[in-house]
Amino acid sequence: MTTSPADTGGAAPTDPDTPDPGSPPAPDSPETGASNSPTLLALRLLEVMLRRDGDWGVSELGAELGLARGRVHRHLTLLTEAGYLSRNAETRRYGLGWRLILMGRTIGQRSPVVTIAAPVMATLSEQVGNTIVFSQVTDSGIVVTETLSSSSTLGVSFPPGTNFAYNSSAQGKVALAFADAAQKARWSGLTDERRTPATITDPEELWAQVAEARYRGWATAPNETFDGMNALAAPVLGHDGLIAGTLAIVAPGGVIPEQPHPEQVTALLAAAVEISLNLGCPREKLPAALRQA
């Protein structure tokens, strides 16, 4: 069984970002009940790491979870040894491991929404010749569920599990545009992420673009998620007429300009409508912008 230095009485780790693993938990960390379960703490840690791209330091995770760095370090060590996380020996920061990535792909492949969306995505990719991304809407942000890459689109990578806030992507703007009142109230708190200098963080500008997306049925985000890239996104609705996800064409800005080509918009909206209808959304519940597609 794997043990930590604190369990064996060994020396404290030398990582400058990791104090003695036996140090007491943060004052505001839970000490009793299910929230203190090692299993749930490990799951909470993984959930936090999936909220954004890139790696995490022990201190960042401790602050995010309200836990002492030593306690976080013990969980990180165990998860890394098991393959759920990876550790950069040079930077001493942690990222997703092979086992967690494989689990995400397996879950995505078994999702009924992905099963329904996949053939429509394939057709759309053939039509436009670019990468197609299907994402689901959650209370922690936009989460990429399936990516269909195109060989003609270089440098675009949105692996399943990639997470965006609602202001930093075309998918997020579309989600806000077609959210109901309850969803909008919850998601409005996730609108301050700055991924690039062009990311929209001004509330007035963001909500103006959200209103425009509602009217048009689509949104773009030139250079706002990644420098040099743009996405054209449309909503996908479920059987209840509520937004269930987003469908996007992703390509360099030269391929999808800020004002996308009409044929790109037509193809995207038609695909979004097809997936929505296949998910059981009654045609009469489709927004006006999509009914015209």
The reply to whether 140 and 239 lie within a common domain is: yes
The reply to whether 259 and 136 lie within a common domain is: yes
What would the pLDDT profile of 197-224 be if each residue is shown by its tens digit? 999 999 999 999 999 999 999 999 999 9
Please say which residue of 100, 128, 159 terminates a domain.
100
The reply to whether 208 and 247 lie within a common domain is: yes
**Region of poorest pLDDT, from 85-99, 101-115, 116-130:** 101-115
- Residue 162: pLDDT band (50, 70, 90) is confident
Distance CA 230, CA 222 (A): 4
- Determine, yes or no, domain membership for 175: yes
The reply to whether 166 and 65 lie within a common domain is: no
Q: Quote the pLDDT of residue 202.
A: 96
Residue 232, CA distances (Å) to 41, 54, 179, 195, 235 in order: 37, 24, 18, 17, 11
Domain count, the chain: 2
What would the pLDDT profile of 257-268 be if each residue is shown by its tens digit? 989 999 999 999
CA angle 145, 46, 105 (to 5 degrees): 30
Average pLDDT over residues 225-247: 94
The reply to whether 52 and 162 lie within a common domain is: no
3-state secondary structure (DSSP) of residue 293: coil
- Determine, yes or no, domain membership for 241: yes
Q: Where residue 75 sits, what CATH number does that domain have? A: 1.10.10.10
- For the chain, the helix, strand and coil percentages under 3-state DSSP, each to the nearest 5: 40, 15, 40
- Determine, yes or no, domain membership for 130: yes
- Determine, yes or no, domain membership for 105: no
- Alpha-carbon torsion (41, 194, 165, 261), positive or negative: negative
Q: Quote the pLDDT of residue 102.
A: 73
Closest CA to 82 of 45, 119, 118: 45
The reply to whether 127 and 66 lie within a common domain is: no
15 pLDDT exceeds 60? Answer: no
What would the pLDDT profile of 67-105 be if each residue is shown by its tens digit? 998 999 999 999 999 888 889 888 999 988 888 877 776
Distance CA 119, CA 139 (A): 27
The reply to whether 122 and 81 lie within a common domain is: no
Distance CA 40, CA 253 (A): 42
Average pLDDT over residues 38-50: 85
290 by Cβ neighbours in 10 Å (0-12 / 13-18 / 19+) ranks as buried
DSSP 16: T
The position carrying tokens 């963080």 is 201
The reply to whether 258 and 186 lie within a common domain is: yes
- Determine, yes or no, domain membership for 106: no
Please say which residue of 80, 100, 120 terminates a domain.
100
Please say which residue of 100, 127, 153 terminates a domain.
100
Q: Where residue 185 sits, what CATH number does that domain have? A: 3.30.450.40
What would the pLDDT profile of 147-160 be if each residue is shown by its tens digit? 888 765 555 567 77
The residue segments making up the domain with residue 154 are 111-291
- Determine, yes or no, domain membership for 224: yes
The reply to whether 153 and 276 lie within a common domain is: yes
186 pLDDT exceeds 60? Answer: yes
Closest CA to 96 of 86, 82, 106: 86
What would the pLDDT profile of 20-35 be if each residue is shown by its tens digit? 444 443 333 333 344 5
The reply to whether 24 and 167 lie within a common domain is: no
